[in-house]
Structure 1
Amino acid sequence: MTIQFTLNHKKVSAEISPDTVLYDLVRSLGCASVKCGCETSNCGLCTVFLDDVPVLSCSVLAARADGRCVTTLEGLQQEAAEFGAFIADQGAEQCGFCNPGFIMNALALFRQNPDPGEDEIKEYLAGNLCRCSGYEGQLRGIQNFLAWKKQKEVAQ
């Protein structure tokens, strides 16, 4: 079956089998930031935006992307780099394997709630597996990023 969709702001067409999952499709199209750590929808490493909503691409059939927009970290470079620097500053990127999924979920949080409290941040972190850190660095990075963003808005 042939599907057509927008991937990172570019129209694409792909020939897929009915059982192809979105993870496999976007990886085959060069989106190396999308990773799979569990294949059971438990680690968050495969998070992509489907029509601007975060989904676990290892659990979504690629056919569901037909006529829709899929965004990976490759399509959010500027936004991701700005936030990612705050994560790196806190030493929360030790091996870096979880970073793309983590950043995708954090960006989704910021879009949904530009001023989340600590409990809401922790709730978003809960869906992301990181085997290197205790999530405190990520939490501090998010809090520092949000404080910086507020300060930047006040200065304007």
Structure 2
Amino acid sequence: MSNREEFPGDRGFAATVDVAGLLAAMTLPSIEPFGPDTPVLAGLPAYIPFPPPRPEPASRVGVARAVYDTSMTALAVLKRLEDATAACKAALVARVIAAAHVEAAATNLDPWQAGIADSSACTDIALTLCIPERTAAALAHHSTALLTTHHH
């Protein structure tokens, strides 16, 4: 038995957890700058002449290559995280719009009033995401269309 709040129509674990709480608990690492004055480079030779001895001693080039490679790997992972974040944002925006539509129908709003409710939801999205209202409206349209197309 779970203490998670269940929402009608939700399916699966991800849709039933406290999404806001889960996302708020996530933290990203602090990325230290790297450059010629980075302390780990102090006293290292610029490079190791060929053929390098085994094991190869540290050099400024070796450290720079390792930083480059690990940073590129982290960028690839971050890109996947950004894609997942964008998909999550689209799902949440579509959920807000759907909730506004359900509320409008449940309260018997006429088409003009329902349009105002939809516009109000877009305004709330804009304020929450710190984006222009027209951008929020486009995001709501695309999110709803994307989820409707790929969810059914």
TM-score > 0.5, shorter chain as reference:
no
Name the one with the larger strand percent: 1
Q: Flag the structure with higher helix content.
A: 2
TM-score (normalizing by structure 1): 0.28
Higher relative contact order (CA 8 A, sep 6+): 1
Larger Rg computed on CA atoms: 2
